[in-house]
Amino acid sequence: MKPARPLPAVMVLAGALGILGQSRAPGEDAVPSLAAVYKPYFPVGAAVEPETLSLQGDLLAAQVNSLVAENAMKWQVIHPRPGNDPSAYNFSRADEIVAFARQHGMRMRGHTLVWHQQVPARLFRGAGGAASRQEVLDRLRDHITTLLTRYTGAVDAWDVVNEAISDTGAWRTDSPWYQAAGADLDNDGIPDYIVEAFRFARAADPSARLFYNDYNIEAGAKREAALRLVKALKAKGLVDGVGIQGHWSIFGVQPEVVRQAIRQLAALGVEVQITELDLSTYQWGDSSSRPALAPDLERRQAESYGALFEVFRQEAGPGGLTGVTFWGIADDHTWLDAFPVPGRKDWPLLFDVDHKPKPAFWSVVRW
Ligand code: XIL
């Protein structure tokens, strides 16, 4: 936008010094908005915490039009105490994120209702030891009903079940949910807790789009298992979308494999989203650490992101890819600093630790 009047001298000076947010040195490019560039394709989102809204608020407001809570809506955080009274819940962190999204006209994904991690162990305990299947399902219904009722209209898509399939493609039998209510009493081929979770969610907010979300479902036995699960849930009218998490590495990501998975999943009549995108700069299984992101890896990351987003644009549309959410926005806050090697710095996102666009950013917005 051109200023209508000449700028006051102080602003010209601030601009030349790079103090103003939008200003830049001659020859430097303005930083476009991911959300604006991708408007014709799909919403672009980021996972956030209340703390990152303070640390990265300007960047988030400028770059994305969708948010997801990195942790604030997980059971352990939002429902830390037993029972289902309001006093059992801690909505404050989630509410902060919802308020930010509202203020900036962003949509929100809800993450996540059923997961084997970040869930209190007491949920699976009863009076005489292990809780009964019915007790656990009752607790699940109460939890889902409370959250979906509270966030109706604010959260339009929920990751109802997260990571229910193991890496071999079998059901994840080490999940406490599976152990408590994983039997398939109605013989529909799906552990009952999964179907029940989707039923509870459907009943609590019929307007919400319900997702199954998982990692590594783009290939191999895990993809086949995800296809079977989603097909069966879809036949019951219980699922609307699948989230491919997208925690990949610059050494392993295979955009064409992702394309095929998007097509196969979408062919079941559900939407597909990339829900937790980041590209680690380490090879999976490598536990070494580097002091900084070397230029060759930075370039490799840019190429990988560029190739992925080319696929994303080509697969975008109502019967295909309907959203891409990053698991963070800038390298000063990433879960990969703690996983899989605690304390090791990683640089998986499009903006650097100073919130400056990386080569990867430019390869995503320019093609
Ligand atoms: C991660 C968060 O980013 C961390 O802060 C937390 O300590 C553990 O969980 N798959 C998921 C996300 O579905 O919920 C996980 O988020 C990352 C892997």
362 lines ligand 1 (CB under 6 A): no
Report the CATH number at residue 295. Answer: 3.20.20.80
10 within a domain of the structure (yes/no): no
The DSSP code sequence of 149-166 is HHTTTT--EEEEEE--B-
DSSP letters spanning 54-101: HHHHHHHHHH-SEEEESSTTSHHHH--SSSSSGGG---HHHHHHHHHH
| 145 in any annotated domain | yes
Q: Fill in the DSSP letter of residue 362.
A: H
Radius of gyration from C-alpha coordinates of the chain = 21
Task: Answer whether residue 30 is part of any domain.
Answer: no
Looking from the CA of residue 159, the nearest atom of ligand 1 is: 13
Classify residue 268: in a domain, yes or no. Answer: yes
State the catalytic residue, choosing from 70, 96, 271, 276.
276
- Residue 290 covered by a domain: yes
Q: Looking at the CA of residue 74, tell me the nearest atom of ligand 1.
A: 14
Residues 302, 309: Cα–Cα separation, whole Å: 11
**How far is Cα 75 from Cα 194, in angstroms, rounded to an integer?**
16
What is the C-alpha to C-alpha distance for residues 193 and 47, in angstroms, rounded to an integer? 26
Per-residue model confidence (pLDDT) at position 246: 98
Q: What is the pLDDT of residues 230-254, one digit of tens each?
A: 999 999 999 999 999 999 999 999 9
With a 6 A CB cut-off, is 335 part of the ligand 1 pocket?
A: yes
Q: Give me ligand 1 centre to Cα 334, in Å.
A: 10
pLDDT exceeds cutoff 50 at 1: no
Structural domain count of the chain: 1
Domain assignment of residue 6, yes or no: no
Question: Cα(103)–Cα(114) distance, rounded to whole angstroms?
Answer: 28
pTM of the model: 0.93
CA 15 to centroid of ligand 1, rounded, Å: 39
- Is residue 209 situated within a structural domain? yes
Pocket test for ligand 1, best of 276, 325, 329 (most atoms within 8 A of CB): 276
Query: For this structure, is 163 an active site residue?
Result: yes
Ligand 1 atom closest to the Cα of residue 335 is 3
The range of the structural domain enclosing residue 136 comes to 37-365
Classify each residue of 158-191 as buried b or exposed e, where b means 16 or more C-beta atoms within 10 Å of its C-beta.
Answer: bbbbbbbbbeebebbeebbbbbbbbeeeeeeebb
Tell how far the Cα of 161 is from the centroid of ligand 1, in angstroms.
Answer: 14
Residue 196: predicted pLDDT? 98
From the CA of 353, how far away is ligand 1's center (Å)? 20
- Residue 121 and residue 129 in contact, taking contact as beta carbons nearer than 8 Å: no
**204-215 pLDDT, tens digit each:** 999 999 999 999
CB of 331 within 8 A of CB of 349? yes
pLDDT at 19 over 50: no
- Rounded average pLDDT over 255-260: 98
Q: Is residue 74 part of a domain?
A: yes
Give pLDDT tens digits for 38-95. 999 999 999 999 999 999 999 999 999 999 999 999 999 999 999 999 999 999 999 9
Tell me: pLDDT of 177 over 80.
yes
Distance CA 94, CA 102 (A): 12
Short-list 25, 6, 29, 5, CA closest to 16:
25
